[in-house]
Structure 1
Amino acid sequence: MKKKKFSVLVIDDEEKICKIIKIFLDMSSRFSNVVLAKDALEGMMKLNNQEFDLIIVDKSMPNRTGLEFIENLKKSFKLGKVKVLLISGCLTKEETLFAMKLGVKNILVKPFNRQKLMEKIGTILDI
């Protein structure tokens, strides 16, 4: 039986974080497509052009935060069911509660290692 391969969109204004996540995912045979975006606007543009199984988005970005991105994502009929992993160096209690209200069930705190990232992704995608 062939294992499903997943497509992932990574949105973070820190290029280094995007590249590290891409390297971690590329090390696994379960990911066929890892697309990077430097901010929420670029992320939305990429979402208009292709479908993803998972979006990994940073909370703190210029112009539009990851939480604002997720809020807009959930309002879209087409994208409302996309699975999301929120990453952040620091979340306030209010931000955490807002994320949960938006349906975010998984948050990964920076700094993280490959094992923690893959465990979270495995939980989200039922791998």
Structure 2
Amino acid sequence: MSIPKHMAILVVDDQQPMRKTIAYILRQLGLKDIQFAEDGDAAWKHINNTRVDLVLLDWNMPRLSGLSLLERIRNSEAFAKLPVIMVTAEANTEHVLAAMQTGVTDYVVKPFSPNTLQKKLQDVCSHSPTLIKLAAG
């Protein structure tokens, strides 16, 4: 399954170089609607006010961590099915399990290659009913 080119992706990371790197990879994949938030709190406000089809989420951030934002998203009736890919340096088993138990859609460990991110996006797009519809039309 291809990645819908008009998908709105929110990149949530407190490190500007990482936001820029992820955005560069996404643009190389032909995606244009790339949005940004510097922490979970700003991301939550953004999700509530703007169309977001998928979230790429860092774990360690000030104010509201990635895991706390994921909990908010999953506990929200409006956004519970929003695909969320954790993109984080947290690679230990406890972190991965905590994210899985909270309902993360997929998990990417930093550093990662553009191919790894592309494959994760393709996997998520092929399993998300919302993104499958977006790709179809």
SS in 1 for 2:64: coil
SS in 1 for 2:33: strand
- In structure 2, the partner of 1:119 is 119
Deviation at 1:64, TM superposition (A): 1.7
- Say whether residues 1:66 and 2:66 are aligned partners: yes
- In structure 2, the partner of 1:100 is 100
Question: Partner letter of residue 121 of structure 1?
Answer: L
- In structure 2, the partner of 1:14 is 15
For residues 95 and 106 of structure 2, what CA distance do their matches in structure 1 show?
Answer: 13
Q: Does structure 1 conserve the Cα–Cα contact (< 8 Å) formed by 2:12 and 2:38?
A: yes
> Over residues 2-51 of structure 1, what are the superposed CA-to-partner deviations in whole Å (9 max), with x where a residue is unaligned?
x842110000001111111111111222x231001111111111111112
Q: Which runs of 5+ in 2 are unaligned?
A: 127-134
For residues 72 and 91 of structure 1, what CA distance do their matches in structure 2 show?
Answer: 22
SS in 1 for 2:21: helix
Q: Which runs of 5+ in 1 are unaligned?
A: none
TM-score calculated relative to the size of structure 1: 0.89
Q: Does structure 1 conserve the Cα–Cα contact (< 8 Å) formed by 2:29 and 2:118?
A: no
Question: Partner letter of residue 26 of structure 1?
Answer: R
- The aligned runs of 1:28-67 (5 Å cut-off) are 28-29=29-30, 31-67=31-67
- The aligned runs of 1:84-99 (5 Å cut-off) are 84-99=84-99
Identical-residue share of aligned pairs (%): 27
TM-score calculated relative to the size of structure 2: 0.83
Moved more, 95-104 or 68-77: 95-104
Moved more, 90-99 or 36-45: 90-99
Deviation at 1:92, TM superposition (A): 3.3
